[in-house]
Amino acid sequence: VRNAIKKAEAVNIGNDSALIQTVCVKYTVNGMTTRRIPLGEKCSQLIVDIDLLCADRKFAYDLVTCVEKAGLKVMDIFADIYAVGKEAALFEQSVDRQVIVLKVERDATTLGLLYKGRFAASTILPMGLGNIANAAVEKYGINMKNVIELIKYSARLDQTVCSSNIIHIWNDNGENRTISEQELVDCIRPNIETWLNAITETCEGILQAGETTVIITGEGGETEGLENLLSKRLNVEVRDYIPETLGGRNAALTACLGLFYAYQDRLPIIGQTENSLDLDAFIKNVSYRDRKVETTKEDTLTNKLKGLFLDGKK
């Protein structure tokens, strides 16, 4: 498998792109195909289908430079949409249909396409929840962070008639001011329409290619009604990523959780494991091995972890 990856990485991708990840999509062992790495299998022939995930060279290097200037080491790199696909098991869902992933964040929306069980492409639109919230920030003077929280948890974006109940109270130069759900939704509706128009225009060509499902994640996955508005525009199934059993409980952290799954899947291939914490300090503070002293309040796992982090700050 490693030899196959080395051959794939030797392919010329041009000077404008940077290879950020090699993904083993599937393995064919003696004519049998599997998506899991066939460790321990005996075979006379092995075929590895490999995707080369590339990004704009300057953009990729700028991001890595930011991380390194922060004093951190880059262990590995994965595209955020690929990580979302790992966490939400979207690659399996895209075997017989197209899956469009919309990762809606504060300042941008990343649109990714999964097709035939693989990550096909992605692009970034410079429009996110912050652009939608700007209207309320400018009209009412509410803090951006508070407007975002109101949009996510106190507004039904697909409703024309909303509640007149107050959802937020704040002080403006000594004067108490309020806003209702109806006022908030009416205020941001034009910006929502602008966002919907941009998504519709970008997805138009993809939708014509075949049956499609759209998944909303990121901060936008925490909103109520955005999926219904988009479904009416695109005339396809649109849903928020909400795990029914195991999975990220906050849609904004879906990519972060999927990143660990993606990295874990690569460990058998790269043959090495790197840790981002001081293992000696961790074991010393948390491990119960060789301890026969009666447990006290200070010996609980919670207090041990708390002590570990406080010691690190010191």
Q: Are residues 152 and 271 in the same domain?
A: yes
> Which of 54, 74, 94 is the last residue before a domain boundary?
74
Work out the pLDDT band at 225, boundaries 50, 70, 90: very high
Q: Are residues 62 and 102 in the same domain?
A: no
Instruction: Provide, rounded to the nearest whole percent, the portion of the chain with pLDDT above 70.
Output: 89
Span 292-309, average pLDDT? 56
pLDDT at 248 over 90: no
Q: Which domain holds residue 107?
A: 79-276
Q: Are residues 124 and 244 in the same domain?
A: yes
Work out the pLDDT band at 183, boundaries 50, 70, 90: very high
Q: Are residues 165 and 52 in the same domain?
A: no
Split into its structural domains, the chain has a count of 3
Q: Are residues 136 and 243 in the same domain?
A: yes
> Higher-confidence residue: 298 or 112?
112
pTM of the model: 0.83
Q: Are 286 and 305 in contact (CB under 8 A)?
A: yes
Looking up tokens 């704009």 gives: 56
Residues with Cβ within 8 Å of 1's Cβ and at least 6 positions away in sequence, in order, are: 24, 27, 37, 46, 48, 269
DSSP string, 194-226: HHHHHHHHHHHHHHTTS-EEEEEEEGGGG-BSH
Q: Are residues 116 and 225 in the same domain?
A: yes
Looking up tokens 């080395």 gives: 6
Q: Are residues 107 and 180 in the same domain?
A: yes
Q: Is 109 left (phi over 0), alpha (psi -120 to 50) or beta?
A: beta
Q: Are residues 39 and 83 in the same domain?
A: no
pLDDT at 298 over 60: no
Residue 50: closest CA among 92, 5, 18: 5
- Mean pLDDT taken over the chain: 88
Span 38-55, average pLDDT? 90
Q: Are residues 288 and 248 in the same domain?
A: no
Work out the pLDDT band at 39, boundaries 50, 70, 90: confident
